[in-house]
Structure 1
Amino acid sequence: MTDDFGLAENTEGAAGDEFEEIDVSDTEADRIARRQDREFAEFRKRLKDNERFKLDDGAFDDATYAAIYKLVEDGYVGAFGGPISTGKEANVYEALDHDGGDVAVKVYRINASNFKQMRGYLEGDPRFEGIRGDKKAVVLSWTRKEFSNLQRAREAGVRVPEPIAVQRNVLVMELIGQEGDAAPTLNDVDVDNPETAYEVVREYIRRLYDAGLVHGDLSEYNLVVYDGELVVIDVGQAVTIHHNKHDEYLRRDCRNVANFFARQGADADPESLYDYVVENASPRSDEETERPDDE
């Protein structure tokens, strides 16, 4: 017979005969998962309790610890040292990889106070179209953007820190300097030959532009001196030539750089530097299509 809903009634006795018993005993996968959970919990506690590079300052969430843990598991980070720099957007720490080599770990704050400004540098970049407007999405995209910009700059022949790995809001890259002795900025050294140094930086700007990038914040504070070389740092805000303010940013870079070297005695002026860059570069127009990981 059927009930009012047209469903056949069970007239054969115990319904349990129609179901298979579920095995709830532990599997090897269960045991591995529990062990990994315990190991991660212990790892997170050690980071939070470490006074040398205390990450738990209200700026980082558990997913940030998970990102660092993944980088450790993958062999990119083996041990942490102290902070190289701290700022509103990110902290940079000395670290060692699993082979004992020096690396730098840059941890971006999810609650970055100037994330709206960060979003302004992302807008207009085809690699990051359609990102969500919340802080987390912006910061995660920014981190991947810096990794991508470092790759492109190195391919263009610009001396920047070598990008090694990126996971969520954590970037691992070459350490510029030595353990306990960060490389000084150009502002903090005596420039012995300003004319030669200016020519090097001028060529860096041209090569970046040739690669379709504008640094956007280049000055004596974002150039460091190490092992006889000038190294460009902090390329997270660098924009492509498709950004609606790329020309404004290029002119600002030229003004900052030329004015600094002019004060050092070099024959430099902003307009001549700008003209040199745009007249001697053929900016690439193709864009990387990699999208940021919003997880």
Structure 2
Amino acid sequence: MTEFDLVDTDGAEIPGDEWDEIDVSESEADAVGRKQDREFLEFRKRIKDADQFKVTDSVFDDATLAALYKLVQDGHVAAFGGPLSTGKEANVYLAAGDDRDVAVKIYRINASDFRAMRDYLDGDPRFEGIGSDKRKVVVAWTKKEFANLMRARDAGVRVPEPIAVQRNVLVMEFLGRDGERAKRLSEVAVENPETAYEVVREYTRRLYRAGLVHGDLSEYNVVVHDGELYVLDLGQAVTVHHPNSRDFLERDCRNVAAFFSRQGYEVTGEAMFEYVTEPEPEP
């Protein structure tokens, strides 16, 4: 692994507005799904008949297909490829965008772990009043990941560029080469664990100073792309106002420290937590 440069050293000056609202009202995709015009019906048939989607047909209910249809109409997706990853809450697919490959992350409405999501949504001021409507919870989760990615980029953290969001579908930059996704830290030999640790630690501090805690940070959602480290999966990230944000941050620090200690660089979660939460210097 090559040396990692920190990015945008002055990019985390403004913490951002932790009170941005997330709109979970019916979208254009919902209207398209209800209308079911001829072009949409043809699109639905093509997707359902495509070999790469047959094993994951449960992901593609009509509302999700309508969201994909809207993203195609808007020019964010031109053609779909195969799956990059599958999980309990979401599948990620390779797709061709307007001028580059993109990753399309589709959250399952019916199969998502509603209770696990609730632990992160409850107490987040951006999601008050959603209630127990599962569709609204999953839509909020998807839009939350888009908003978190935007804020992370503004804070100088390398993450996939968020491109578009529609209902339970998120389009973002594809990290990888020739259709192969970038390797996770857990999948590579870390040649310089000290430098890699310092980058992850700095990213965690920048997120914190931007008002966010990742909440599930580990070697499984940090990837190596073009010799740089990128952070993935910010769907569960919470604001620092969340009642469990400190517990989530302490767990993130323990996970990161444990991984790099196994790589031969002795660090502790307590030391990382102290670094991350160190007050910003006076201007």
Structure 2 length-normalised TM: 0.84
Q: What secondary structure sits across from 1:58 in the alignment?
A: helix
1:208, CA displacement in angstroms? 0.3
Residue correspondence of structure 1 range 27-38 to structure 2 within 5 A: 37-38=37-38
1:103, CA displacement in angstroms? 0.4
Q: What secondary structure sits across from 2:104 in the alignment?
A: strand
Equivalence for 1:158: 157
Equivalence for 1:224: 223
Letter of the structure 2 residue corresponding to residue 151 of structure 1: M
* Fraction of identical pairs, as percent: 68
What is the alpha-carbon root mean square deviation over aligned residues?
A: 1.6
1:205, CA displacement in angstroms? 0.4
> Distance in 2 between the 1:125 and 1:41 partners?
38
> Distance in 1 between the 2:131 and 2:42 partners?
33
> Distance in 1 between the 2:194 and 2:182 partners?
21
Equivalence for 1:212: 211
Distance 1:36 1:62, change over 3 A: closer
> Distance in 2 between the 1:144 and 1:178 partners?
27
Equivalence for 1:16: none
Letter of the structure 1 residue corresponding to residue 62 of structure 2: D
Q: Is the 8 Å Cα contact of residues 59 and 106 (structure 2) preserved in structure 1?
A: no
Q: Is the 8 Å Cα contact of residues 104 and 172 (structure 1) preserved in structure 2?
A: yes
Letter of the structure 1 residue corresponding to residue 176 of structure 2: G
> Distance in 2 between the 1:227 and 1:56 partners?
30
Structure showing greater radius of gyration is: 1
Equivalence for 1:269: 268
Structure 1 length-normalised TM: 0.81
Q: Is the 8 Å Cα contact of residues 53 and 93 (structure 1) preserved in structure 2?
A: no
Q: What secondary structure sits across from 1:225 in the alignment?
A: strand
Q: What secondary structure sits across from 2:37 in the alignment?
A: helix
> Distance in 1 between the 2:270 and 2:172 partners?
34
Q: What secondary structure sits across from 1:279 in the alignment?
A: coil
Equivalence for 1:69: 69
Deviations, residues 26-75 of structure 1 (Å, cap 9, x unaligned): xxxxxxxxx98111100000001111133762233211101000000000
* Runs of 5+ consecutive residues of structure 1 not aligned to the other structure: 1-34, 283-295
1:93, CA displacement in angstroms? 0.3
Letter of the structure 1 residue corresponding to residue 244 of structure 2: K
Equivalence for 2:80: 80
* Runs of 5+ consecutive residues of structure 2 not aligned to the other structure: 1-34
Q: How many residues align?
A: 247
> Distance in 2 between the 1:56 and 1:262 partners?
38
Residue correspondence of structure 1 range 15-94 to structure 2 within 5 A: 37-54=37-54, 57-94=57-94
Deviations, residues 201-235 of structure 1 (Å, cap 9, x unaligned): 00000000000100000000010111100110001
1:168, CA displacement in angstroms? 0.2
Distance 1:87 1:164, change over 3 A: same
Equivalence for 2:172: 173
Q: Is the 8 Å Cα contact of residues 106 and 170 (structure 1) preserved in structure 2?
A: yes
Q: Following superposition, which runs of at least 4 residues in structure 1 exceed 4 angstroms of deviation?
A: none
Q: What secondary structure sits across from 1:165 in the alignment?
A: strand
1:266, CA displacement in angstroms? 1.5
Of structures 1 and 2, the one with the larger relative CO (CA 8 A, separation 6+) is 2
Equivalence for 2:4: none
Letter of the structure 1 residue corresponding to residue 96 of structure 2: L
Q: Is the 8 Å Cα contact of residues 209 and 281 (structure 1) preserved in structure 2?
A: no
> Distance in 1 between the 2:55 and 2:273 partners?
41
Letter of the structure 2 residue corresponding to residue 65 of structure 1: L
Q: Is the 8 Å Cα contact of residues 81 and 95 (structure 1) preserved in structure 2?
A: yes
Letter of the structure 1 residue corresponding to residue 245 of structure 2: H
Letter of the structure 2 residue corresponding to residue 117 of structure 1: A
Deviations, residues 228-264 of structure 1 (Å, cap 9, x unaligned): 0011000100000111100000000000001111111
1:280, CA displacement in angstroms? 4.1
Equivalence for 1:103: 102
Residue correspondence of structure 1 range 282-293 to structure 2 within 5 A: none
> Distance in 2 between the 1:281 and 1:146 partners?
26
